[in-house]
Amino acid sequence: MFGSIQIINNLEQKHSAKPTYNAICVYNEFGDYETLMLTENELARVRGRAEKNPEDRIQISPLARFVMAILRGLRIL
């Protein structure tokens, strides 16, 4: 689901691979939907970077938050 983090099983796990990943669907800079796969460590590192640089975070307007809440409630987003 767009904008949410889902823990998924690594179906074709190699010897040194993690058994699960955090899958995140994003709308990328080219206008396409893309699934990103992050381990727990990678997700923690990305979150840490966002916490250290709050001035660079994407700001979402109250109206956009309201619309997204409605769409999530309807299971559209």
Q: What pLDDT score does 48 carry?
A: 95
Using H for helix, E for strand and C for coil, what is the string for 30-46? Answer: CCCEEEEEECHHHHHHH
Per-residue pLDDT at 53 exceeds 90:
yes
The full set of domain ranges for the chain reads 5-73
Q: Categorise residue 75: left if φ over 0, alpha if ψ from -120 to 50, beta otherwise.
A: left
Mean pLDDT to the nearest integer, 17-45: 91
pLDDT band at 7 (very low <50, low <70, confident <90, very high): very high
